[in-house]
Amino acid sequence: MSNNSLIYTPDGDGSLALQADAFVEAALSRWPGAQVVRTTADLDDPVDVTVRAADLEDTHRFQIFHARALDTVWTDGDESQVLRLALWVRSVVPVETGKRVVLLDPVTWIAVVVKPGMTKAAIREAWNGEPPMPAEDA
């Protein structure tokens, strides 16, 4: 899995239902002391919010990017940080929306649907070479 991995949903309108303000509030709760950079001045920039954080599990700082289109979250972090970010996004995207949260490595096109209650180990075990299929009722 590369640090180019994306977290998105293939369902509905493709929106993660995670507005920028809610994203920032949840990120600051998860990563206290993180630095928030809003890029609202350039509407051509696909990123509207960047969170610069460090996990308690390590001291390596990484960035989390929130897409202006509300459809993608990604990081420049290492594999462990990518996995923790995917689990965190699953925890903050309302399950009631019925939207799957997918971790996709766009370099290899390997993906996994991140389900509530999964662990990093479970994501690694589910990692396979098949892109997620569209929902049958979508």
Q: What is the dihedral of CA 79, 8, 31, 120, to 10 degrees?
A: -40
The answer as to whether 135 is a domain residue is: no
The answer as to whether 131 is a domain residue is: no
The answer as to whether 137 is a domain residue is: no
Please provide the average confidence, as pLDDT, over all residues in the chain: 80
Those residues with Cβ within 8 angstroms of residue 137's Cβ, 6 or more apart along the chain or in another chain: none
* Domain coverage including residue 83: 6-126
Q: What pLDDT shows up at residue 89?
A: 92
The answer as to whether 106 is a domain residue is: yes
Q: What pLDDT shows up at residue 136?
A: 45
The answer as to whether 1 is a domain residue is: no
Instruction: Specify the number of domains making up the chain.
Output: 1
The answer as to whether 136 is a domain residue is: no
Those residues with Cβ within 8 angstroms of residue 86's Cβ, 6 or more apart along the chain or in another chain: 5, 7, 101, 103, 114, 123
Phi, psi (degrees; rounded to nearest 5) at 90: -60, -35
Quote the tokens at residue 9.
């949903």
Q: What pLDDT shows up at residue 111?
A: 87
For 38-74, write each residue's pLDDT tens digit.
776 666 667 777 787 876 666 678 888 888 777 889 8
